[in-house]
Amino acid sequence: MKLDGKAMLVAAMMVASMAATGCSTAAAQTDAQVAPEETAATAPVENEVGAATSAVGGVEKDARAFHYYAPHGPPAGRFEARGVAPSARHFWAPGYYRWNGREHLWVGGRWELGRPGYEYVGPRWHHVLGRWEYRPGRWNRR
């Protein structure tokens, strides 16, 4: 059987459109339930007022903060070799597990710049009312 150029073009376009549709659908499903990756630079200051947004699947928003949930707890934390701080102004922000919508992924610790008058509390997981809640990192006044 001999295929002409039009038939091959149509077949190629069908395959490409199915591949593109599958990729965007999978990304849209996992984005709604993902706990954000954090750094100390992006962590909020405790008691700081933020913009109100609505709740999304896997994420709830109350008057104070966002709440991210996972169906099971993270594995035990990993050991990390810290090395030497780049300067006296840096502190060690320990690694943590992040939920990507399907599994817990390790985000390695790193040296971050400190904020005078504040103490950094890193991201962590708590078992609350039968489910695992992710609590993002934040800055507390000393």
User: What are the pLDDT digits (tens) for 99-138?
Assistant: 888 889 999 999 999 999 999 999 989 888 888 888 888 8
- Residues with Cβ within 8 Å of residue 40, at least 6 apart in sequence: 91, 93, 112, 113, 120, 137, 139
CB burial of 41-57 (b: ≥16 within 10 Å; e: otherwise) equals eebeeeeeeeeeeeeee
pLDDT tens-digit readout, 2-31: 556 666 666 666 655 555 555 444 444 444
Domain ranges for the chain, please list them: 32-141
**Hey, is 128 helix, strand or coil?**
strand
Least Cα distance to 112 among 134, 136, 94 occurs for 94
